[in-house]
Amino acid sequence: MTFDEIDMYSGLAALHWSAYDEPTWDHDFYKRIVEQAGGLALDVACGAGRLLRRYLQAGLAVEGVDSSADMLAVCRQKAEADGLSPVLYCQPMQTLDLPKRYACIYVPCGSFTCVIGQENALEALRRFHRHLLPGGVLAFNAYFGDWGDYDYNKPEGERAYPSEWKPHVIKEFGGGRRLVVERRWTGVDPVEQISSEQRRYRLYDGEQLLQEEVHAGQNHWYFKKELLLMLRLAGFADVQVKGDYTDEDFGPQHTGTIVFICRKPDRAG
């Protein structure tokens, strides 16, 4: 099966993600990590710059990389409106090859799960390790497995895909313009830990439909022990596993997000 990690973040999909402009859930958590690391940071899968632009405004040194040219175009536009000129690169994280080394690399918003296949994910971690300075910090989060409406109790033949379209979100852009997004599952494989979906985007001006697009994407759900092993294979050490963007060690009380914070060994030390 061929996977496309860019389609879900192209066209009207990029407009959708650009509307998530609030600092919200993870802003303070990653900001503190960047501040403590000191030096230059890299925002991987920076998208429209939800975090990157605020960190630059706060005086932090941060660059960005994303696999979607459409998302980076939105990021540049928003940054310029704020009087910022961020350094941005267009590359997938599993083929990361940049001219600099960083004190900190962070991957927000669960974007690491967009890397499909364990080989690609391990290569991404190795690339992060290569791009960090000795003693540099990597931080990223992964969501728990999202299997949509998958029901283990149903026979395989009764699990029909694609599922029905369901409302997902409506984003208002002012002046009567709004983006209506629907979502449906096109496949779920809990053995391979991959879910596939489509999102239908309808852009309206008042009641007039201006544009409609359907984009597809996938997620590979990685689990705690699996990622701990991959991080060790990639060369990382001193791994901390936190829950829900708190300082608490990850445990059953956490319901949404698992966060990994690890360090490239300081060979000079």
Taking the domains of the chain in order of start, what are their residue ranges?
Answer: 7-146+222-263, 164-219
Contact 142, 227 (CB under 8 A): yes
Q: In what order do the strands lie in the sheet with 88-90?
A: 88-90, 62-66, 41-44, 102-107, 132-143, 257-263, 237-243
* DSSP E strand stretches across the chain: 41-44, 62-66, 88-90, 102-107, 132-143, 166-174, 177-189, 194-205, 208-220, 237-243, 257-263
Is pTM beyond 0.85? Reply is yes
Model pLDDT, residue 269: 40
Tokens of 64: 């960005």
3-state secondary structure of 14: helix
Model pLDDT, residue 174: 87
Model pLDDT, residue 111: 94
CA–CA separation, 129 and 235 (whole Å): 7
Residues 6+ apart with CB under 8 A from 127: 93, 94, 95, 96, 97
The pLDDT profile of the chain, 269 residues, written as one tens digit per residue, is 567 889 999 999 999 988 887 767 899 999 999 999 999 999 999 999 999 999 999 999 999 999 999 999 999 999 999 999 999 999 999 999 999 999 999 999 889 999 999 999 999 999 999 999 999 999 999 986 555 555 656 666 566 889 999 999 999 998 999 999 999 999 888 888 899 999 999 999 999 999 999 999 999 988 899 999 999 999 999 999 999 999 999 988 887 789 999 999 987 44
**Backbone φ, ψ for residue 61 (5° rounding):** -95, 105
Model pLDDT, residue 143: 80
Q: What is the CATH number of domain 7-146+222-263?
A: 3.40.50.150
Class of domain 164-219 (CATH, top level):
mainly beta
Model pLDDT, residue 3: 77
Model pLDDT, residue 268: 46
Model pLDDT, residue 127: 98
**Cis ω for the linkage preceding 162 (within 30 of 0):** yes
Candidates 11, 7, 4, 3; CA nearest to 70 is: 11
CA–CA separation, 269 and 253 (whole Å): 37
Tokens of 21: 């402009």
Contact 158, 149 (CB under 8 A): no
Model pLDDT, residue 22: 73
Model pLDDT, residue 25: 80
Distance of CA 6 to the CA centre of its chain: 12
**Given the structure tokens 């391990």, which residue do they identify?**
122
